[in-house]
Amino acid sequence: PNIRKTPQGDFMRPATRTRMSSHNKKTNGVGVQVEETRICVVMVGLPARGKSLIAQKVVRYLDWLSIKAKCFNVGSYRRTATPQPAASFFDFSNTEGERLRKAAAEAAVNDMCHWFRSPGHLIAVLDATNSTKSRRRWIKERCDSEGIETLFVESKCDDEELIMANIMEVKTTSPDYVGQDPEAAAKDFRERIKMYERVYETLDEDEADMTYCKIIDVGSQVIINRIQDYLQSRVVYYLMNLHIKPRSIWISRHGESEYNVSGQIGGDANLSPRGAQYAKLLPGLVAKSAGDRPLTVWTSTLKRTAQTACHLPYEKLSWKALDELDSGVCDGMTYGQIEKEYPQDFAARDEDKYNYRYLGGESYRDVVIRLEPIIMELERSENILIVTHQAVLRCIYAYFMGVSQEQSPWMEVPLHCLIKLTPRAYKTYEERMSADVPAVSTWREKGSKAEHAQTPGPSARASPMIGAMSK
């Protein structure tokens, strides 16, 4: 994107220049030292500019990184008093409408301030149009009085065709129009936008004292002002990488390996004959799902992923960050051997699998930290096929589908199965395609020793992964 430096602000101010507040330095969930600053991300923009989508994505990203975040959507507060308002409700000369809308904003801001009082609650996103300077000044003053920083994020877009597509995609099915004809709903929503346009004020020099990020035409230009600390710059960097072009991400584990067959973990083994058969079938499976869309394949640096991808007729990139979770001193052992030789560790891992770090190795939490650049690159990219490993795949899947840290390390991800993820507004769609090649199951249930069994074919019993919902 075209990043413009404003005279008042600068981009990615180093942490050492952070304006020090009275807050202590703490290690956050991802093991990085940050000030315990609390930030209210205030969305700004006309209706149907992607604010809610951006708000939800930011919260999901931060959650994945163990940074406690929550979205406060003023529309859902407004809906308690006015569930299905007509466009005239949003006319700024409608005094009753104005009163109810201000009351909804106040209720959301009050709840948000209350939420911030709990320890570790670091980032809230206030999702509303916040379309006038006076509304934004009011929010800033309220947050200042609570010691909460504000980061205004405006989505500005005048592409009529895109706005119309947005209305058809998400607004006609909004709770505001339940039971109404989609054409009539779209017409009313356009009227609603007109009401806002009469009073809408974009962020400009008058608000030069505020911290803001203005995203124009879905990121083709980004203006940033007074970004002050580590967390703010992290959020802004994430926002700068988002796009809404239609695309899918395919993920697959490598084909069955010799270690999978013998029940050993880690290592750098070759594919088994059945794994090699999966590698041969993979191009056909991908072509069936992706058609002739251009694709890039990402693998780890380990032999089994490169061997699985070797017949794929696309550009390939190998990433160290996609290597399997490092099992340290347990590398090359079976779960049964680990239980015998390191019984306390084996039990500790079952107790808290996400946080347990193998002696000399990694935890799931460590893997998420090293995957963060991969997620950023995935957000910037279009169609990508990732061939990787069980633990890594669980972490990537958890990001897209919003799976919790308690659940994600236990999800069953069968071998010889291609998963297609398609991000759409508010939701990621999932499709699974199994190759008809049997394989062992490497899934170990909590409390078990995992005797590897044959994968029970495509009509497998319901796994904990199936049915995991995206946020």
Q: Give the binding site for ligand ATP (CB under 6 A).
A: 45, 47-54, 75, 129, 155, 157, 162, 166, 169-170, 215, 218, 244, 425
**Binding at 444: pick from ligand F6P, ligand ATP, none (beta carbon under 5-8 Å per type):** ligand F6P
Residue 308 interacting with ligand F6P (CB under 6 A): no
**Is 258 known as a binding-site position?**
yes
> Does residue 315 have an active-site annotation?
no
Q: For the CB of residue 260, give the shortest distance to ligand F6P in the complex, in Å.
A: 6
Of the candidates 149, 207, 229, 324, the residue annotated as catalytic is: 324
Catalytic residue among 35, 127, 176, 207: 127
> 388: part of which helix (H) or strand (E)?
strand 384-388
Q: Which helix (H) or strand (E) holds 72?
A: strand 68-73
Is 163 or 435 the residue whose CB approaches ligand ATP more closely? 163
CA distance 264 to 270: 13
Backbone angles phi, psi at 356, to 5 degrees: -65, 125
Report, in Å, the least distance between residue 163 CB and ligand ATP.
7
* Per CB under 6 A, 275 contacts ligand F6P: no
Kindly state the tokens that stand for 150.
């504000």
Q: Report the SS3 class of residue 410.
A: helix
Region of 148 (left: φ > 0; alpha: ψ -120 to 50; beta: rest) is beta
- Measured distance CA(416)–CA(321) in Å, rounded: 22
Binding segment (CB under 6 A) for ligand F6P, from list 38-46, 210-218, 258-266, 366-374: 258-266
Taking the alpha carbons of 330, 334, 335, 336 in that order, is the dihedral positive or negative?
negative
Q: Are 25 and 34 in contact (CB under 8 A)?
A: yes
Answer yes or no: are the C-beta atoms of 405 and 364 closer than 8 Å: yes
Of ligand ATP, ligand F6P, none, which one sits near residue 166, judging by CB under 5 to 8 A according to partner kind? ligand ATP
Of 296 and 318, which has the nearer Cβ to ligand F6P? 318
Buried b (16+ CB within 10 A) or exposed e, 187-220: ebbbebbebbeebbeebeeebeebbbbbbbebbe
324 binds, among ligand F6P, ligand ATP, none (CB under 5 to 8 A by kind): ligand F6P
Taking CB under 6 A as the rule, does residue 150 contact ligand F6P? no
Which residues between 419 and 448 bind ligand F6P (CB under 6 A)?
442, 444
257 is in an annotated binding site: yes
Which residue in 176, 254, 323, 416 is the catalytic one? 254
Report whether 327 contacts 265 (CB < 8 A).
yes
Residue 351 among the catalytic residues: no
Pairing of strands 221-225, 212-216: antiparallel
Given 248, 308, 327, 408, the residue binding ligand F6P (CB under 6 A) = 327
Is residue 256 marked as binding? yes
How far apart are alpha carbons 38 and 295 in whole angstroms? 40
* Contacts to ligand F6P by CB under 6 A: 260, 265-266, 324-325, 327, 389-391, 409, 442, 444
Catalytic residue ranges: 127, 254, 324
Residues that constitute the known binding site for substrate: 253-260, 304
